[in-house]
Amino acid sequence: MLTLHSSSNHNLLPGQVALLVSPISSLMTVSSHLRLIIGGTVLDSAWSVLGSSMRSLLLYNNATGNNNIVLIHYRMDGE
């Protein structure tokens, strides 16, 4: 299960992020799903350990035409 920890300058709902990322385990799959479902282009995405089971994901979201750079920090519970 994914718990959204924090995000900046984004227009995605935490539930949407959880739905997209929680069942996904590989970096390439995450990039593909984000590009497909959000409709943006993934600029960079990385699994970065920030303490215990914390991850960060950087993506470029142009789904709304606002061209937001989005940084999402999240925790994978149960890892």
Q: How many helices and strands (H and E) does the chain possess?
A: 2, 3
- For 45, the enclosing helix (H) or strand (E) is none
Query: For residue 74, is pLDDT > 50?
Result: yes
pLDDT (tens digit per residue) in 31-72: 444 444 444 433 334 333 334 455 555 554 445 555 455 555
- Residue 33 dihedral angles phi and psi, to the nearest 5°: -65, -40
pLDDT (tens digit per residue) in 4-26: 333 444 444 444 454 444 434 44
pLDDT value at position 22? 42
- Alpha-carbon distance 49 to 62, whole Å? 26
pLDDT value at position 44? 36
User: pTM of the entire structure?
Assistant: 0.28
